[in-house]
Structure 1
């Protein structure tokens, strides 16, 4: 039942938008009784948050062995994930305080996104390359991507994501004062 309901939610978000998803519409689409959906999730925001929490990232891009290229691929992957139909709605639902009082969704979202960038950083560190701290990558690449997509800032495209990484990796800019490489 859970898989059918989740599939129905994703389809409806793509078709009518997250604000127009209702429990009865989800139940109809999933072929289940609305009372079952109400009993398990209670509200549309809680249902959206559960779907967001359970959505699996597509397979990570293969590491190419070049830090800048690998970070660019992770940045484009992040942008694509957030920009897909319903991406912002699922992000908002996952981190909404009225659904997630303990902020577990916010932490899970941060961990998932961080893992995308952790792999290229760890691989580069293993090769002995100097790498920026993960926190710096989150501040300089991930935060601007999320901000621009959430607020629909024009020009937020793959080239913009690559440019953020290029700026991060520019000579003399790959480590912030006090950074000692990979953390």
Structure 2
């Protein structure tokens, strides 16, 4: 019988189920806007012992950050309709709908500032930047003249995240479309 390496559990099995159940519990509780999120509450919802959660994650902040990074960096759809303006509008509708959900907003607030590289840049938007690059690359391949990556970030993505993170309201599909329309009209407020 082969020896079991307890430091590197095999993929799948109980360890993967516990991780998935705990992540699901955190996401559900944040979606329900549980005001007193705690490890015992997460453990109860996940159907595991609180000691299991403490042993694996140490504290609530570490657990929330891990779950937040997984949720926020998940791949989303990248439209390719043949028109950059339409692609960015569809993508921004997905983006604002996704980040405006209560559990996503909570995750954003958890992650912002907690995962920075040596340059001080947060990794929170890495996947979003890849998605923008994909949309813009498709546009160039169609011989369109798309906006610059930085302009999409500054004039579309940043205002959406800013409104959501600081609870200013008004960040919805209509606002996302307005930002994209302004970008393509050159009406970016500068």
Verify same fold: TM over 0.5: yes
Compute the RMSD of aligned alpha carbons.
2.4
Q: TM-score, normalised by structure 1?
A: 0.83
Unpaired runs of 5+ residues, structure 2, are 1-17
- Tell me the TM-score normalised to structure 2 length: 0.80
User: What does residue 71 of structure 1 align with?
Assistant: 88
What SS class does the counterpart of residue 123 from structure 2 fall into?
A: helix
Q: Distance in 1 between matches of 2:88 and 2:97?
A: 14
Matching of residue 50 in structure 1 with residue 66 in structure 2: yes
Q: CA deviation at 1:59?
A: 4.1
Higher percent of residues as helix: 1
1:181 equivalent in structure 2? none
Q: Equivalents in 1 of 2:118, 2:103: separation in Å? A: 21
CA distance in 2, matches of 1:40, 1:103: 26
Match of 2:129 among 114, 120, 124: 114
CA deviations over 1:134-178 (Å, ceiling 9, x no partner) = 1111000000001111222232221110110111111xx39xxxx
Alpha-carbon deviation of 1:11? 0.8
Q: Which runs of 4+ in 1 moved over 3 A?
A: 56-59, 100-104
Report the equivalent of 2:11. Answer: none
Give the number of the structure whose alpha-carbon radius of gyration is greater: 2
Match of 2:12? none
